[in-house]
Structure 1
Amino acid sequence: MCQVPFHARLFGPWLAAAAVLVLGQDAADKAKFGDPINVLGSMERTDQDFQDGLALDLFSPKNRTLVVQQNLTPLPGNFVTGTTGGPFMALQNYSYVISLNESANDLIAKIEIPYDPTALAAIGIQESNTYVGTLAGDKRSWIVNDATRNVHREENNTRIIKMTSLQGEYILLGRKTVDTANEFVQYGQGATRTVNVTAGNRQEAEFIDGLRLSVVPSTDMGINIDIVNGISPQAVPPGLVPVNSFAWVVNSSSPGAPMLADMKFPFNPSMLSAVRGFVQPAPVRVAKKALGTTAEVPFQLMAGEIIGILPDNSVTIPNVTQVDGQYVLLMVS
């Protein structure tokens, strides 16, 4: 794809002082939103630029028709899943909705959205902290996949690569942090160890051992997690033993507020083998008890958990409505 000169374009007043999407000077020769785009078949290349700088590059085994529309009221950019760290923000005041005339999961494709480095610098965002988000199926977050993300600084654009389908909604995002990779939260208290989430839609955070929260809160809140060593034998249900010697203690600034959360707890496979004395471990269970209870108060097994060993050595509890509490991992003795 040839490189073209760009100039900055302003968007909504909420976007700090500048916008970061850019507009090609030869826009009259490029596709408009709503135009039907003919997609070549037989794995011939279709390389289509749009007037605001959006570019689609794809190979399709069949002839198809593609349309890109603008959504002028997209989901706010601070709701991001798939990667960790923040705060995120939208770098444009509209998103792209791409549709094809038929379902297509057999493409080789990429989408790229340009940015203006000067405008990025004006709002304190590094080029390496730009992302293309894909609207999640539940429409509650923008998904960022670091494995398919590519920032092409020579051409000032950010891409999703390795795509097999283009159907969906996309937006340019930025993150105001010094670090440019996944960010992980330390255990403990204090501002730098607090996960701050915003009411309304889904956000994620991951701690240094891999414990991951995916939260839809009803109110803005902060969440902290501590590690507390020592599990009383009286607190363990009969027939079970702790996998670890510690409990995770979760507390939030709004413990009574409704929420919906998925909690993913990591475990060390070698610890399972040590407990059972052989290589093939039993399913791991998660148990919980309230904050402020004495050490001897029993933990209760949580219902609805995804029991077993996942490929990433974790166990997930979906649809948790209250995260405050003490958590341990247990297995059959």
Structure 2
Amino acid sequence: MSDDFNWNDLRAFLAVARTGRLTAAAARLGADHTTVARRIAALEAALGARLFDRSPQGYALTAHGEALLPHAEKIESLTLRAAGQVGEADQALTGAVRIGAPEGFGSYFLAPLMVKLAERHPQLEIQLVAIPGVVSLSKREADIAVTLSPPREGRLVSRKLTDYGLGLYAAPVYLDARPPILTRAAMAGHRFVGYIGDLLYAPELDYMQAPDVDIHVALQSSNLIAQLQAALAGAGLCVLPDFIARREAGLRRVLPHDVGLERSLWLVVHADLKALARIRAVMSIIVEAVRADRSSFLSPATPASPRARAGPQP
């Protein structure tokens, strides 16, 4: 191995390995793609091995690249821990912090919170990834994640943010055109808006199971915000988080004492990042904001044994 082997080349290697493309890796590193390509070439020359197979579809790790990956990740972890233990705590809060979250919580709770983050820590660059999917902290797709369940593997640290309630909602334009829904049995035959079953990214979202009612999810979307907008337009009945639905004047809750469920939100960070000052600062504001607004996450009416049932039968 030559003396030109360095950490910046390894950072480029990790970024390309995780994204599969030079342009995406360059964006993640804040560099241009030619610089990333040059660093990959330098690393391959230093190691005397080809690390990627190049194709129009992107960059795929070779056997040598696969062998290098865990060692590069260990070096990355050591570097991050050193930064947290030696220098980061006493430095100004600067740099980028990327937060990954479900699209509902990200759009309705975290997006407004970015004002407070910007005012309290003006030197931070906050990146919010609010998507109907899961970001990987192990692959460094985000620095902090809000998830629907605690992680079961990896060097990840989690804490419960809050429980939250969900209920059945619909727009007056839909409800007023039909007979009143006074019992659970009356839900049968109604049009429901919900998730696409085979595109669910978390089991916690599979709540359209009602053993005593024949439910037909006629309108389906992989995106909660799309479901919300469809419900507001009068498309049908929709199970929505209370902290979102109660902000919408154009929705009414249906069977509040008979239909409801409870889920949880977890705050997760990679063990190598938890000591960094900028990460601690952002996590602290998220926890503080959730605690201050705790009542908005609680169901206005909680059915008996909410965790024992799912969806319209939660």
With the shorter chain as reference, the TM-score category is under 0.3
Greater RCO, CA 8 A, separation 6+: 2
Q: Normalised by the size of structure 1, how large is the TM-score?
A: 0.26
Q: Normalised by the size of structure 2, how large is the TM-score?
A: 0.27
